[in-house]
Amino acid sequence: MVALPDRILMSAEEYLVWESTQEERYEYWDGEVVMMSGATRNHNRISANFFKLLDDALADVYDGLRLRTCEVYIVDVKVQLEPGQKYFYPDVVVTCDERDRDPQLVQFPCLIIEVLSPSTEAADRGKKFAKYRQSPTLQEYVLVQIAQPGVEVFRRNEQGKWVLSEYNLDEILRLESVDVEIAIIDLYRQVQFESEATEN
């Protein structure tokens, strides 16, 4: 493996070509390439559970008389927030926009889900969410706790303001952007929390 410099700077065009040839995933922040950190088993399990539940719920859903085409992607599909400026890898992303035709990335997300980990939580809550909010098509931003059960959903209301709702293990999460309900307990299927691990 070749050692990379601490900071990798390149143009967006160079990044898109270079990153497609890499084994690891890299995000792009205003000219700087940032390597993604590895995920834990719990992080992976929660992401997979969320993806499967959404994908199953959105398969062959009819909106009136026509098939509504929402696509759910996990881990390896980039979201372009600003052409030439920001490209992120959310844990799960949904687009229902017919303009999303690029095979490499999503440009018009309606729902983004991030599973929080100690190394990414500050960015997911702070600078990433600040950039995600600039997407005119994004309606909901979901943060899933990994240390203990808990889900936070930020929804854009009719006034364009972001409103927080919190959900516990025994509650049902309603995702208005895609008209889907998910039991929070199902998101945590086969997840062993740290407190349980230390008790065993």
State the SS3 of 48-79: HHHHHHHHHHHCCEEECCEEECCEEEECCCEE
Residue 22 clears pLDDT 80, i.e. is over it: yes
Show the tokens assigned to 151: 């889900």
Q: With 80 as the cut, is the pLDDT of residue 180 above it?
A: yes
Mean pLDDT, rounded, for 117-145: 91
Q: For the chain, what are the domain ranges?
A: 40-199
CA atoms within 13 A on the CB side of 171: 11
Determine the number of helices (DSSP H) and then strands (DSSP E) in the chain: 6, 16
pLDDT in tens, 32-66: 898 887 678 899 999 999 999 999 999 866 555 54
Which residue would you say has higher pLDDT here, 63 or 103?
Answer: 103
H or E segment to which residue 139 belongs? none
> Is residue 93 over pLDDT 70?
yes
Amino acid 62: pLDDT: 57
Determine the pLDDT at residue 6.
63
CATH code at 40-199: 3.90.1570.10
Amino acid 60: pLDDT: 65
**Helix (H), strand (E) at residue 24:** none
